[in-house]
Amino acid sequence: MTPGARAAVEATVEVVPANEVACADLQTIFGTKGQGSRCQCQRYKLRPRESFASFPVEQRVHRLREQTDCGNPGSGATSGLVAFVDDEPVGWCAVEPRTAYEGLVRNQRVPWQGRNEDKDDASVWAVTCIFVRAGYRRRGISGALAGAAVDFARQSGARALEAYPMTTTNAIDEELHVGTVGIFAEAGLVEIGRPTLRRAVMRIDLW
């Protein structure tokens, strides 16, 4: 794809808060098979002693609906963004206060290793997932979502936004849900740490 063609694709991307879209749009993005349909973006939402094997996917779908408050425009919910191309739902970005991700807070390495951070600081937001629907990948949608996440966090009063992407594009699809260094760098985030060989911590201060 030439740079001009890519710019044309990016120009058609519209990103809106998840509460402004129909719940069916979320399920269109995650599909009916593959990692997205199984996870329903609950990896970092698991409660202590929970696992994917402990409750069915239907319950994960229900939790995602509650978390996003999808289908209720104006509700003020701040959990996630959805991308559209020509009115077709194509991408999802999990972004909200870092404290909302219980699994992330409990993690001992990503994003905490080598840092002196207050895990209870709700003014720091995080992007934990960027997922683009099959058939729409490599068309600039992930980058549009990352940029929109920065704007969304800033408008919501966040002091900073973090992301924890893979450091290599050779990762398998199941790992790339956290995004890549490149898309977050284009959105203005800078690398501030490498807790593992394959993961980076990136951050942008918003005020």
Could you report the per-residue pLDDT of 80-133, keeping only the tens digit for each? 999 999 999 999 999 999 999 999 999 888 999 989 999 999 999 999 999 999
User: What does the longest C-alpha to C-alpha distance in the chain come to?
Assistant: 49
pLDDT value at 4 more than 50: no
111 or 5: whose pLDDT is higher? 111
Domain count, the chain: 1
Spatial contact of 133 and 29, defined as CB atoms under 8 Å apart: yes
Q: Please write down the HEC assignment for all residues of 43-83.
A: HHHCCCCCCHHHCCHHHHHHHHHHHHCCCCCCCCCCCCEEE
CATH number at residue 168: 3.40.630.30
pLDDT value at 2 more than 60: no
22-47 mean pLDDT: 93
Which helix (H) or strand (E) segment holds residue 201: the answer is strand 201-205
| Residue-level pLDDT at 90 | 97
16 or 177: whose pLDDT is higher? 16
pLDDT tens per residue across span 131-156: 999 899 889 999 999 999 999 999 99
Q: What do you get for the CA distance between the two ends of the chain, in Å? A: 37
How confident is the prediction for the chain on average, in pLDDT?
A: 90
Candidates 146, 152, 142, 185; CA nearest to 167 is: 185
Domain span at residue 88 reads 3-205
Computed on alpha carbons and rounded to an integer, the radius of gyration of the chain in Å comes to 16
Q: Cβ of 161: how many Cβ atoms within 10 Å?
A: 28
> Helices H, strands E: what count in the chain?
7, 7
| Residue-level pLDDT at 141 | 95
